[in-house]
Chains A and B, each alone.
Chain A
Amino acid sequence: MFGKGLLKGLGITAKHTFEREITQQYPEERPHLQDRFRGSLAYDYPKCIACGLCIKACPNNVLTLETYKDEGSRKKKVAYYAIDLQYCLFCNLCVEICPTATLYFTHEFELTSYDREGIKKEYHRPPELVPASKTAAGPAEEDKTPPGGETDDKKVRQMEAMKTALLKNPAKTLGKILPAEEDVAIMSSLMQEDDKILTKLAQLLVEDRDKAAKVATAWVKKGRSSGPPPGAVPPMADGTPRSAAGQSSAEETAPPAADSREAEGGVGLPAEDKAPLGDEADDKRVRQVEALKTALLNNPAKTLGKILPAEEDVVIMSGLMKADDKILAKLTQLLVEDRDKAAKVATAWVAREKKRNPGEGGPSS
């Protein structure tokens, strides 16, 4: 009564006037986040043991896991992991259940993007590297068991080093065993296409250099004589002769992840353990095509560089791919099935595009 309440109100506002402002000048001032703040979900690739518990725990099917079985250690490995954050409700169940603390919440909260795909986090193993688990996956401590049950740790490590060297600098390493430069080129492309060849060669190089030289020469000869490989052939299952030279056949490049397991009676991808072989092969190929597509889009220079020699052509081709989805699909398929043919087709497309707009470097659309 008599304005006591009014004065009290005025007192409160007067007090607040001289208190510290709670406004945060957001882009300039970063918010102070608590330790347990749940920002974007992150995934620590090397730590993952592909147990799949997170997939089971997730209430919204946010997570996707694709695995394969490692050649040497017979362990499940991650081929592909995806976090589709647009469905995530940040419930923390996956983080809680993860036995190796692979999944964790970061403090990153600026997750906006221009499309739905933008918020999806994907972790790929580069398709050509899928079986080379140890090099790609970093410190995979549990994979010490060498192929074939051998327990020579040193040899395994040596082999790994050799593999890396072969992939990183094929000219130098192969130059020691192959005299002709042309042969080196063929061999290195063979290696990159087929991981088994790479593994074998590395092993031979470590054990016996002379033998390695012989085998390599034989592969190169075979690779040259066989010419463009016969296109889409499903990967060989059991019973295929596995001589050193025979492994270079190009059709096996399609599902590199799996065939060595198949040869031993195992299965490529544990997710489809019971699936009949034919289906499995198709499925694998589809997935490979998808992976390759992503690779083409993410890093066109690297992927296209293998089939198109000129850098300018690569630029044009990548422009074409981005402009037309059909071209992308076709190219991916060709690349999986037949690299030589893919190279030819790509060159033809680039030439056509060049003719269409001679002035520019890229596609008009």
Chain B
Amino acid sequence: MENLFINIARTLSDWLLQLGLSHFWTDLVLLVVQWTAIILIITLNVIILVWLERKISGFIQQRLGPNRLGPFGCFQTIADTLKLLTKEDIIPSQTDKLIFKTAPMFFIIVSVLLYAVIPMGKDMVVVDLNVGLFYFISVGSLTTIAILMAGWSSNNKWSLLGAMRSVAQMISYEIPLAFSLLGVVMIAGSLNLSAIVAAQSNIWFIVLQPVAFVTYFIAATAELNRGPFDMPEAEQELTAGAYTEYTGMRWALFFLAEYTNLVAVSALAATLFFGGWQGPLLPSWMWIIIKTYLIMLVFMWMKWTFPRIRMDHLMSLSWKVLVPVSLINILVTGVGIEIFKGMGW
């Protein structure tokens, strides 16, 4: 069980080598297979997540949530997906067509790219970058450009307002996000995610870096544009924000990308603070799934508990609270590391 996926990959590559392909081509085919698997998992995951989110929001509000289609309504999302796939694709006449069409694609591509560096089990990482965390943060911030593209090309004031909010939010929260992760990096001594996971074999970083985790969690919620920081698509103010003009599959792509981001950010939190794929008894890839889902449940729990924060409060929270706190955290971490080193640990 532990090496299920690794064995599958090895069998595949052995078979390809036997067919007489060179190592370059074998690796290329394997990479394609890996990406296809990731995209499939993401898509299926989103179907589950949307159902889960609706169910949880229902339970929190003492409703039943979707329950008409299939047991506990679990086929509801599939039906919704089919509906979205078959919907008419409407592009408003005054839009910037090229950007309008590329924005959702860009968004989903950027979201999928995040999965390249996340270790999804023991020795299960698509690209084991030595600057993996740096890659994750920098690629993650590109999603904002997709939202800005969507908002700008829609030629609609609500869309543009939503996009501008998204950009402002990203600029504000990217800083505490990166700073909060610096503490972890300092302790682990590496930006490589596999190395960070390995550094947690004795103790999870949530114990060593609780302040960093809280800061990361808040900043990540803002980065994900999820409630209570869902200003860019605040329904009550901006209809659907940057996504207002999108219909059918294009809109579904945004939706897909948002949930993909949610999974990626949760998986990163699990990797950085909860020991990644490490865990007893169960295979490693199962552990990362369990941890990711638990963190996502907390994200959903928060979304359906807190009311949306005001834009100026959002800004002051970031600049006046999170940035100083994460800076102090770095200072304390650095001092602590030196003290422990001095004590001979």
Contact = CB atoms under 8 A, between A and B. Distances in A.
Physical interaction between A and B: yes
Identify whether the interface residues of B are mostly helix, strand, loop, or mixed.
loop
Interface in B227-275: none
A18 B60 CA distance: 8
Interface string B48-79: 00000000101111111001000000000000
Interface of A: 6, 9-10, 12-14, 16-23, 25
Interface residues of B, number: 14
Contacts of A9: 305-306
A9 to B, nearest CB: 5
Contacts of B62: 16, 19-23
A132 B227 CA distance: 74
B63 A10 contact: no
A343 to B, nearest CB: 56
A6 B214 CA distance: 13
A14 B301 contact: yes
B6 interface: no
A16 B59 contact: yes
A217 to B, nearest CB: 72
A22 B58 CA distance: 11
Contacts of A12: 305
22 contacts: A9-B305, A9-B306, A10-B301, A10-B305, A12-B305, A13-B60, A13-B301, A13-B305, A16-B59, A16-B61, A17-B56, A17-B59, A17-B60, A19-B62, A21-B58, A21-B59, A21-B62, A21-B63, A22-B62, A23-B62, A25-B64, A25-B67
Given A9-B305, A9-B306, A13-B304, A23 B60 contact: no
A61 to B, nearest CB: 42
B208 interface: no
Nearest to A20: B62
A6 B60 CA distance: 15
B302 interface: yes
Contacts of A21: 58-59, 62-64
B185 to A, nearest CB: 25
A17 B64 CA distance: 10
Contacts of B306: 6, 9
B259 to A, nearest CB: 21
B88 to A, nearest CB: 32
B316 to A, nearest CB: 15
A23 B59 contact: no
Given A9-B305, A13-B305, A20-B62, 4 more contacts: A6-B306, A12-B305, A22-B63, A23-B62
Nearest to A18: B59
Contact of A23 (B56, B64, B305): B64
Contacts of A14: 301
Contacts of B63: 21-23
6 closest Cβ pairs, A-B complex? A13-B305, A17-B59, A23-B64, A13-B60, A9-B305, A23-B63
A23 B60 CA distance: 12
Nearest to A10: B305
A16 B61 CA distance: 7
Nearest to B307: A9
Contacts of B304: 13
